Structure 1
């Protein structure tokens, strides 16, 4: 073997060795909740501890504006155009103006030109809730620069590590709105309803799709997607007129807002419920289990690192190293599955937790509402179950159950100050349809 070949093998071994050690260190840092990526637009590195982030007020206010516009129903292109028109500098030039070097495109477009993809990314970053999400991507080898997106269940998520720019409820609402956005540009008669993606069939669990009458485009309605579909077939249409649904939702929202204002203590008790303490204890138990598994995972990382160093130093032979490392890797693999499952459960539970004061304030805003808006629906409603209209004693009734954010289905008690109304509509073929609220145990 000549000198060149020897030098190449030595360099190759050195690069591989450095890469492996760097992976171990990054894994330890990532599993400890230290951000592995640079701070996104709206944050800067903490001067007192550069490992973590702090809010940068100027950029953070732009982020809040983008989220407000999204809640108000603006599309990605509309938000980008409004920012450009107001002379707001885009993230690329914002970082350049502060001497921060960031990877990616070195675009030379004008400083105030915003792309819809930039807006979309800002609207999807969970980091704005104050969270750290590590291991979003990975590389197969130190020889490959290309990064591969990591599935969500393989990521390490740490909640409330730094100060939030966007509160979690707002972030969740925007994600729901973005999820329901269609790629196809709607025509005038096909414009989606604010309820699109929120109506569920209680019979088959499918969504209700939005339609309009071919002969009269003013008649818009929803019906179960699985009726006569051949896939998870539903026996009923669960047909409901949009104008009838709007009356029902507006009526129930006003009743809820009135109850929250006039009988605040009763409303708070109903919101908290007996299950609150159980939910808290469950969360604490899951967190303790997660902390134990995470600590063991860090311990295994250190054990593996020492084992590797001992093998390189010749203190442990290759056979012993292979046997012990296999045992550590198996244990880590089993723990990793449990850690992922627990983090996903805690994340799901956290998104459902409610801030009573915030929810009360939100509900009260709609006490005097006269119309349904996209923001109202996003802030208050998780989903709505629509039952198929049934005829009893000559009267056709349709049950509708509204599941609110934070509190789920809620039957407003009959009280003297709570408004009541009979919602009756002349629908197809002169049939009078009346609303029958679902009775829910409070």
Structure 2
């Protein structure tokens, strides 16, 4: 008997996998079938529950969960789907609904095309159909995964979503072009971040300028229900989203595919692939940021900054380390002193009661460090500009004729070894072929190949060694070139800023004060090249130590 005061739940589902596999049951088509069946069989109070774009192996679907809430509340008399696979493609969970959840709540279940009706006694084949639906989901998942893997290997995007700041080229959906609306936002976020602006200030700027979040923008453009939640706070950008943008190599004009994989066809959870499992395609589209800006952003991300009590990021934040123990230097300000004095001390020493560190303070005043770093940066800038070739020769250690000859010899030896390896591969193929055709006995085959095998192992080891040696030199030259490009951006440096300090300097090591000579050494390691020897007198700053009533000399080394 039909219960007129309860709902007849008409459930529809269509996944991306179904569409890719050629399913013809669109949501509208399913609705038409279900409503017609309900009308013809006199089911009352019909209500649709829909999941568009959700896989059947996952039961975390909004429409399904809403329907199950109605079921558990006792407000549903009958659930009708086009077929069993619409309810789900997970054998265990689908069986649990049909055999436990629905009967316990007095719900009749009908799958029209499969002839399933729990009000009848002839449903012995229902578990078999559920098992087949799960097998179909597994098989479809494998096929789709193979297709996506092939697309990834060709550099084609497989998830249908594009990096914020880009849109697909109308003539080739796999090619990216800058989005006129969002590309300027990406550039602004990078510019603010590398200039030292705090993340909360960037978020404030985005909100004040009513810049839609990625999810809100996608909902505005597509209307897809899965992005609707983003409209609750359309201008509130999470930290993680902004850090993800700042770390994406796509903004350099490169394409990276196969970055993640699903843990199982039954789960929506994804895991990041290792670098060697990804595919990298350089210079595939127009970049939004240059190499220097991107590198600066990565450098700042690697040393997340802790704002001071004055809500400011210190100019040396993330760069200062104790030369004694390697711990980060702690930024501090004097108390009850006007004007305020700012200084640094070893973080491990400062927390020695908790950490048990035996390191010393390595104390240095900020104004001393500012003066020293400014003078040393100006010294290095002038030297590189006036003596670029000398700088390159010293920095590469390949400036003399003998070193250049050694590099050329390594490259020549590598080419020769690779050619011999190719010859050996050809010989192996011929020997295998002769052995397989009976032209070469097994004993003779083993004798010949064993000698070649030893040679191949020796060659492979030497090739690897040579490639590493050459790559080291090549990478070093590239790093020097990048530092020269940084120098080329400046004619002179009159004052230190967060941007120029972090662009020029990789790290600064603070040595402890030598009490006998009243000198303190400061190691300044410049970006990409390390310490720079200009064959000049080292940069020095002298300040008066009021506590010990002596003049202290700080020297950059």
Give the TM-score, by structure 1 length. Answer: 0.69
Matched, 1:160 2:282: yes
Residues of 2 paired with 1:378 and 1:421: CA distance? 19
Matched, 1:170 2:170: no
Deviations 1:276-300 (A, max 9, x none): 987xx89xx9xxx9xxxxxxxxxxx
- Residues 355 and 97 of structure 1, relative CA distance in 2, 3 Å threshold: farther
Question: Pairwise mapping of residues 3-402 of structure 1 onto structure 2 (< 5 A)?
Answer: 3-31=125-153, 33-37=155-159, 38-86=161-209, 88=211, 90-92=213-215, 94-95=217-218, 99=222, 104=227, 106-108=229-231, 118-145=241-268, 147-150=269-272, 156=278, 158=280, 160-163=282-285, 164-182=287-305, 186-188=308-310, 191-216=312-337, 218-227=340-349, 228=352, 233-274=357-398, 353-354=478-479, 356=481, 359-392=483-516, 395-402=517-524
- Residues 151 and 352 of structure 1, relative CA distance in 2, 3 Å threshold: farther
Residues of 1 paired with 2:279 and 2:550: CA distance? 53
Superposed displacement of residue 52, structure 1: 4.2
**Counterpart position of 1:311:** none
Deviations 1:161-180 (A, max 9, x none): 52332223322211322343
Partner-residue secondary structure (3-state), 2:309: coil
Superposed displacement of residue 403, structure 1: 1.0
Superposed displacement of residue 137, structure 1: 3.8
Matched, 1:431 2:541: no
- Bigger Cα Rg: 2
Partner-residue secondary structure (3-state), 1:210: strand
Matched, 1:411 2:536: no
Superposed displacement of residue 254, structure 1: 0.6
Deviations 1:83-111 (A, max 9, x none): 44445555445545655869545433587
Residues of 1 paired with 2:248 and 2:476: CA distance? 15
Partner-residue secondary structure (3-state), 1:138: strand
Superposed displacement of residue 36, structure 1: 3.6
Superposed displacement of residue 118, structure 1: 4.2
Superposed displacement of residue 373, structure 1: 1.0
Superposed displacement of residue 35, structure 1: 3.5
Q: Which stretch shows the higher mean deviation, 212-221 or 172-181? A: 212-221
Give the TM-score, by structure 2 length. Answer: 0.56
Deviations 1:383-404 (A, max 9, x none): 1111111134xx3111111111
Task: List 4+ stretches of structure 1 deviating above 6 A.
Answer: 110-113, 275-278, 349-352
Superposed displacement of residue 375, structure 1: 0.4
The answer on whether the counterparts of 1:168 and 1:351 sit within 8 Å (CA) in structure 2 is no
Residues of 1 paired with 2:213 and 2:240: CA distance? 12
- Residues 102 and 370 of structure 1, relative CA distance in 2, 3 Å threshold: farther
Which ranges of structure 2 fall in alignment gaps of 5 or more residues? 1-122, 419-466
Partner-residue secondary structure (3-state), 2:552: strand
The answer on whether the counterparts of 1:79 and 1:119 sit within 8 Å (CA) in structure 2 is no
The number of equivalent residue pairs is 368
- Residues 352 and 198 of structure 1, relative CA distance in 2, 3 Å threshold: farther
Deviations 1:87-142 (A, max 9, x none): 55554455456558695454335876656554343223233223444444433322
Deviations 1:308-358 (A, max 9, x none): xxxxxxxxxxxxxxxxxxxxxxxxxxxxxxxxxx9xxx9xx97994373x6
The answer on whether the counterparts of 2:157 and 2:257 sit within 8 Å (CA) in structure 1 is yes
Superposed displacement of residue 53, structure 1: 2.8
Residues of 1 paired with 2:223 and 2:531: CA distance? 49
- Residues 405 and 234 of structure 1, relative CA distance in 2, 3 Å threshold: farther
- Residues 22 and 398 of structure 1, relative CA distance in 2, 3 Å threshold: same
Partner-residue secondary structure (3-state), 1:408: coil
The answer on whether the counterparts of 2:166 and 2:183 sit within 8 Å (CA) in structure 1 is yes
Superposed displacement of residue 406, structure 1: 1.7
Residues of 2 paired with 1:375 and 1:404: CA distance? 14
